[in-house]
Amino acid sequence: MSDLSEARTLLADANKVLVAKGVLDAYGHVSMRNPENPQEYLLARNLAPALVRPEDIIIYRLDSDTQDPRTGYLERFIHGEIYAGRPDVHAVVHSHSASVIPFSISEVPLRAVWHMAGFLGTKTAVFEMRNFAGDASDLIISDRKLGEALSHVLSASAVVLMRGHGSVAVGESVEQAVWRSVFTELNARVQLAAHGLGSYMELTEAEGVATAEMNAGQIRRAWEIWRSEVTSLGASR
Ligand SMILES: [Zn+2]
């Protein structure tokens, strides 16, 4: 099996994992850089993530254009512009998962409060659409200009929030981007619960760095079980 063929299967399975973990539902998407050409990325056609099969994957250039005639996601520019700006990134997850939203619309920053989410550090940046599209937009990243603006706000981080919309998690592999998006959502739930209790402890910057480094070597264990859970239920293979 070629690298591209394996990548299509991996990406289809990643879609199903993210649905199973409550990160994606009917909306949101996951992409990966083409392992055979770093100037391209792979992203499903416009389809609910749970339904994505390997043959539904479209190959895009980094300007988010393609020869493929099938309809793509409106927000594919999120992916193309992040790959263009971040050579270290090989996978991107865009989600509307609800627990992170309060941190995008309040003064309380989403930050690592749990060792599983040390990669969040002490503050997660928030992309404010009004700074780029005025106060009457549909909040959708529907062109390259907005995608590039989002990529700038993400900067060198692992995660960026989008005010009143959702979030983006990136990784150096599909497994890492999926893992980070799952634990971003879970850290948000933990932080919200702790906030309801009153004051709470947060990871220091150094604890965030140390736990992120430690966990980076432990992603494979989670990925293997998560993938087996969705593929044994009659998924893409
Ligand atoms: Zn979106």
Is residue 110 classed exposed, middle or buried when 0-12, 13-18 and 19+ CB atoms within 10 A define those classes?
Answer: buried
- Look at residue 178 and tell me whether its pLDDT is greater than 90: yes
Query: pLDDT (tens digit, 9 = 90+) per residue, 58-110?
Result: 999 999 999 999 999 999 999 999 999 999 999 999 999 999 999 999 999 99
Q: Which sequence positions are flagged as catalytic?
A: 75
What is the reported pLDDT for 232?
73
- Look at residue 234 and tell me whether its pLDDT is greater than 50: no
- Of 210, 120, 222, 218, the residue nearest 161 (C-alpha): 120
- For residue 210, the CA-to-ligand 1 centroid distance in Å is 31
Is residue 132 classed exposed, middle or buried when 0-12, 13-18 and 19+ CB atoms within 10 A define those classes?
Answer: middle
Is residue 52 classed exposed, middle or buried when 0-12, 13-18 and 19+ CB atoms within 10 A define those classes?
Answer: buried
Q: What is the mean pLDDT of residues 199-212?
A: 97
Q: Please, what are the domains in the chain?
A: 3-231 (3.40.225.10)
- For residue 155, the CA-to-ligand 1 centroid distance in Å is 19
3-class secondary-structure state, position 80: helix
Rounded to whole angstroms, how far apart are CA atoms 184 and 205?
A: 16
What is the reported pLDDT for 235?
47
Token representation of residue 44: 């499903």
- For residue 162, the CA-to-ligand 1 centroid distance in Å is 9
Query: pLDDT (tens digit, 9 = 90+) per residue, 125-145?
Result: 999 999 999 999 999 999 999
